[in-house]
Amino acid sequence: MIRIAIDCMGGDHGLPVTIPAALNFRDHHPDVHLLLVGLQDQIEAQLASARSALGRDRLEIVAATEVVAMDDPVEVALRRKKDSSMRVAATLVKDGRADACISAGNTGAWMAISRYVLKTLDGIDRPAISTALPNQKGGVTYMLDLGANVDCTAQHLLQFAIMGTAMVAAIEQRQKPTVGLLNIGEEVIKGNDIVKQAAELLRASPLNFTGNVEGNDIYTGVVDVVVCDGFVGNVVLKASEGLAKMLGSFIKEEFKRSPLTLLMGAVAKPVLGRFRNRVDHRRYNGAALLGLRGVVIKSHGSADAYAFECALKRARGAVANDMLSLTTQVVAQINQSLQTPAESTLTRVDAGANAQSSHGDRQ
Amino acid sequence: MIRIAIDCMGGDHGLPVTIPAALNFRDHHPDVHLLLVGLQDQIEAQLASARSALGRDRLEIVAATEVVAMDDPVEVALRRKKDSSMRVAATLVKDGRADACISAGNTGAWMAISRYVLKTLDGIDRPAISTALPNQKGGVTYMLDLGANVDCTAQHLLQFAIMGTAMVAAIEQRQKPTVGLLNIGEEVIKGNDIVKQAAELLRASPLNFTGNVEGNDIYTGVVDVVVCDGFVGNVVLKASEGLAKMLGSFIKEEFKRSPLTLLMGAVAKPVLGRFRNRVDHRRYNGAALLGLRGVVIKSHGSADAYAFECALKRARGAVANDMLSLTTQVVAQINQSLQTPAESTLTRVDAGANAQSSHGDRQ
């Protein structure tokens, strides 16, 4: 049974989104057990108004008496609301009562709380938010950080590259995932000082660093992992969502111009529907907070029930794929090779993601 | 006659793109006179191989003996290549022989050279690259900076806001254009230190600052001007181009799935074509380098002849609309009100873009 702790209070909409999503998700996944965290009365009320044949099966309410507001400063969320639904959800993971936790609430607070409660992996200073974006090759590109860290050093960017590599190695079972550094040009001379320093660190590392990539490369799929600071990543992600939405509405507009184009639209409807579904950004909802000693998922604050359910699926998938222990292993491996002479590190990384035994041999 | 100096050597493709674009542009615009700047022999050869009924009409070759390479460091372009086609093109504007200049070459070099040759307006430290992006409301959103400045202070962001406001006031004849600051959340507490400081400067300024905007707001059209540093702006712009391209190819793929969907595609073709044309990023090619004492246009390096011609149209439009003197006026006005007590500045800015006379009265 996969146990997921849900902060039911978070997000722009809170319970009217999280509870219906949780119920639907539970109904369709017989292997999950959900811990609904939040204000008990309100959760009860929402559950009472919802319909599901399965009743309270594989559902459990875990009471929390406080709620982190979307505009609470991190310090308030962390220091003054010690019984918040976020804090309780993360603690359930720490105590082993849940395998993963999820919130659609205030990103900064969710990051700070999960980091405080669960701690980061050895060699990782700050967790990073990562998600998989569809690319032109029909695969996905992992991008991080997407908003957890707004002021990054070169060392942080290197750590993001390590975490991204570890995640792709773990989830996609790829031996040496390629890493690109997001920049304003492919040439080495481009970019600000931090990005230039990060490129040097990456070149000296055992990671499969292919160099700078530009904004369009996120979608061409030239690399497996795109690394950037959280400010840039967040803006790019949201701009992409905004653009996709706008293009969708442009298509609709064009088909609505005249009776004739409406007819053409009716003919093409099945194809357009498949296209719309394929690019629906709600399907990509649910980003992982990497670098923590536990599976922590962040849903978009504005998620509707469908999007929140997609994020729940992602939490389930991370647990089912054993993402945490695989990622932890690979991070430890890379960090260790960073501390050994260059020749041996290269051999070691060639051995790749699941070379845990050879890693042991060398100690 | 509108005289445009073209750096024919710049861009990923150089002459095979710039010359055919220039000829076609000239053929369709009887009010333009083009100065083709670059290696004389090569321009002659390219002209000889091109076909146009108008021959050398309204065309003039201006020889330059050097070419700035796409990967030349700024110092090399500026100090060691004093007879580059970029430098000669900018000097034609400075000497009053051309009304505008354009290059598809190395962005950093083009910015440094045009700044060195033409100088910035009073109160503006650095030029910024700005372009108009289509938005969901059917209008356009001006965004800057798009890559001229990778390390910005809060003061620079304020200057970008001033330049953007001036440009929209001038080109769109809008009295008090709204300005948004690109950030990772709408809340005041969000973002890095520079963005927070910039927000304070903007709030204290006479500009019509509406607060933080997020990535998706670039396309929703909630503000007229979106301000960001050049690193973020460049990455967002290129990511948007990459995404639009990918979505276009996804539509094609969906219609190619089976004979039936191919048929549906054939029926819907006129509408899809109009949609494709509407979102073709080549149509938006040609960004203005604002804040200089001359009209300077930057084309995308990878532009094809169609895209480069769009950028030429933008240069012509800027001159025809008297963008330079209008922008210069508004920048001077705003800068002056920044130096006067708050009450009077507000009245003055209410008077808006073309309040040149009242501006005079107050002195």
> For A300-337, what is each residue's pLDDT tens digit?
999 999 999 999 999 999 999 888 988 898 888 888 88
Query: If pLDDT is split at 50, 70 and 90, which confidence band does A181 have?
Result: very high
Query: What is residue A350's predicted lDDT score, i.e. its pLDDT?
Result: 38
Q: Is A211 on the interface with B (CB under 8 A)?
A: no
Gap from A104 CA to chain B (nearest CA, Å): 14
Q: Is B239 on the interface with A (CB under 8 A)?
A: yes
Alpha carbon distance B7, B160 (integer Å): 26
Q: Answer whether A239 sits within 8 Å of B255, measured CB to CB.
A: no
Query: What is residue A113's predicted lDDT score, i.e. its pLDDT?
Result: 96
Report which of B79, B84, B144, B87 is spatially closest to residue B114, judged by C-alpha positions. Answer: B87
Which residue in the set B237, B241, B247 is minimally distant from A279, CB to CB? B247
What average pLDDT score do residues A217-241 get? 94
Alpha carbon distance A342, B109 (integer Å): 37
Q: Answer whether A216 sits within 8 Å of B135, measured CB to CB.
A: no
Alpha carbon distance B145, A342 (integer Å): 40
Lowest mean pLDDT segment, chosen from A200-204, A272-276, A282-286, B357-361? B357-361
* Contacts B191 to A, Cβ<8 Å: 150, 231
What are φ and ψ of residue A214, in 5° steps?
A: -105, 170
- Please state, in angstroms and as integers, the Cα–Cα distance from residue A117 to each residue in A24, A45, A104, A124, A146, following that order: 29, 29, 18, 15, 21
Q: Structurally, what CATH architecture does the domain formed by B136-279+326-363 represent?
A: 3-Layer(aba) Sandwich (3.40)
Query: What is residue B249's predicted lDDT score, i.e. its pLDDT?
Result: 83
- Contact present, A147 and A301 (Cβ < 8 Å): no
Query: What is residue A186's predicted lDDT score, i.e. its pLDDT?
Result: 66
Q: Answer whether B268 sits within 8 Å of A270, measured CB to CB.
A: no
- Percent over 70 (pLDDT), chain A: 92
Q: Is A219 on the interface with B (CB under 8 A)?
A: yes
What average pLDDT score do residues B51-66 get? 90
Q: Answer whether B243 sits within 8 Å of A219, measured CB to CB.
A: yes
Q: Is B268 on the interface with A (CB under 8 A)?
A: yes
Q: Answer whether A236 sits within 8 Å of B215, measured CB to CB.
A: yes
Alpha carbon distance A58, A30 (integer Å): 9
Q: Are strands B287-290 and B295-298 parallel, antiparallel or unpaired?
A: antiparallel
Residue in chain A lying closest to B183 (CA): A235
Q: Answer whether A136 sits within 8 Å of B249, measured CB to CB.
A: yes
Q: Is B145 on the interface with A (CB under 8 A)?
A: no
Query: If pLDDT is split at 50, 70 and 90, which confidence band does A348 have?
Result: very low
pLDDT at B160 over 90: yes
Interface test with B, best of A235, A250, A252, A275 (most B CBs within 10 A): A235
Query: What is residue A335's predicted lDDT score, i.e. its pLDDT?
Result: 84
Residue in chain B lying closest to A246 (CA): B136
Q: Is B139 on the interface with A (CB under 8 A)?
A: no
* Contacts A147 to B, Cβ<8 Å: 184
Which residue in the set A71, A136, A150 is minimally distant from B191, CB to CB? A150
Residue in chain B lying closest to A267 (CA): B264
Report which of A25, A79, A89, A101 is spatially closest to residue A57, judged by C-alpha positions. Answer: A25
Q: Answer whether A244 sits within 8 Å of B249, measured CB to CB.
A: no
Question: Any idea what the Cα angle at residue B301 is, between residues B295 and B303, rounded to 5°?
Answer: 95
Q: Is B189 on the interface with A (CB under 8 A)?
A: yes
Average pLDDT of chain B, as a whole number: 88
Query: What is residue B219's predicted lDDT score, i.e. its pLDDT?
Result: 94
Q: What is the ipTM of this complex?
A: 0.82
Domains B1-119+292-321 and B136-279+326-363 in one fold: yes
Alpha carbon distance B303, A138 (integer Å): 26
What burial class does residue B343 get, using C-beta atoms within 10 Å of its C-beta: 0-12 exposed, 13-18 middle, 19+ buried? exposed
Report which of A224, A243, A212 is spatially closest to residue A140, judged by C-alpha positions. Answer: A224
Number of A to B CB contacts under 8 A, please give it: 177
The full set of domain ranges for chain B reads: 1-119+292-321, 136-279+326-363
Q: Structurally, what CATH architecture does the domain formed by A1-119+292-321 represent?
A: 3-Layer(aba) Sandwich (3.40)
What average pLDDT score do residues B190-202 get? 90
pLDDT at A357 over 70: no
Q: Answer whether B238 sits within 8 Å of A215, measured CB to CB.
A: yes
Interface test with A, best of B223, B271, B279, B300 (most A CBs within 10 A): B271
Q: Is B123 on the interface with A (CB under 8 A)?
A: no
Alpha carbon distance A358, B353 (integer Å): 70
What burial class does residue B227 get, using C-beta atoms within 10 Å of its C-beta: 0-12 exposed, 13-18 middle, 19+ buried? buried
